[in-house]
Amino acid sequence: MTDSGEEPSPGVAPDSRGPVGTVFVALYGELEPHPWREPDAEQDLYALFHARSKAMGWLDDVGTSARKTATGQLTDVRQVGATGLWGMNDAGLEHPLSDPEVPLAAWVQVGVRPLTEERPIPVQPFLRCVGDAVARIGTLRLRAVQLLLPVQCLDPAASRMPPSLFTADWFLSGAPRTGLPVRVTLDSGQEPYLPEAVSGIRERINRQNQEVFVCRTHSPEGHEPLALRPPFGDHLWNGPSLHRTTFHGTLAEWSLDALGWLGGFLADLSACQGVDTPLVLTAVPE
């Protein structure tokens, strides 16, 4: 009993913070389950990704708690949890909207929190957590990656010097390699912003001081579309697919780490060229 005669009881006050955009990844290929893992294991991909995100300090689970008085009023309101890069949405190994002709191995969807001028969309840490979670389930032979990039969350003025450039040197510290030929398609759905920005994006890819992705050619029109339909609703990105551009070049390595960096980099360059709509990135080795 409180001094005022009110009986305290636990309660939760609504959280006014929320995501500013959605990041979705679909991993295509073959996932061979570990022989020691039970098919109905308690920790599914959602639980594994949640645990890994939290362990790395990247999960945003900020909320508020409060005590409820006998009259229903909230008191002793305080913040609980920790700020992070994203909040959980959903994850799984199968998706009802996936193309049955293409082997979908895993997918994860999160809501990213407000971004600062110094940070790209956190695609690189996101894919790192996805890869770590999938590796707990089995061995993945990655054939293609599809990413939903919330480019509308970026400030075009802040992208004059893409924040992702400051982490490009990480890939130079690995074993010497000539680069893997890849094909990377950006798709703006029904929004026509992308075709107008392609020349500027291509020019800046090779002008920036980075060797992670080197672009040889691009196909703004008439290119061969990739036969991968995004396994999510059109409402997330102004779909269906209509305006696409494909870049042909070399990637430092075929890894989720490098693909995550590439997603953040191309999102930065797209925003700098005036693109302010979600983009779908699809990458496959050539």
227: its two tokens: 């036969």
Query: For residue 4, is it within any domain?
Result: no
Query: For residue 8, is it within any domain?
Result: no
Domain span at residue 141? 21-34+42-59+81-285
- Can you say whether the dihedral through the CA atoms of 148, 154, 160, 162 is positive or negative? negative
pLDDT band at 227 (very low <50, low <70, confident <90, very high): low
Cα angle 131-136-140, degrees, rounded to a multiple of 5 = 55
- Tell me: pLDDT of 15 over 50: no
Percent of the chain with pLDDT over 90: 58
Query: For residue 7, is it within any domain?
Result: no
Instruction: Please tell me which residue, 206 or 75, carries the higher pLDDT value.
Output: 206
Query: For residue 12, is it within any domain?
Result: no
Q: What is the mean pLDDT of the chain?
A: 84
Contact 91, 232 (CB under 8 A): no
- pLDDT at residue number 19: 59
Looking at the 3D structure of the chain, how many domains does it have?
Answer: 1
Query: pTM (2 decimals)?
Result: 0.85
Query: For residue 13, is it within any domain?
Result: no
Query: For residue 202, is it within any domain?
Result: yes
Residue 236 carries which DSSP code?
G
Query: For residue 73, is it within any domain?
Result: no
Query: For residue 14, is it within any domain?
Result: no
Contact 232, 97 (CB under 8 A): yes
pLDDT band at 249 (very low <50, low <70, confident <90, very high): very high
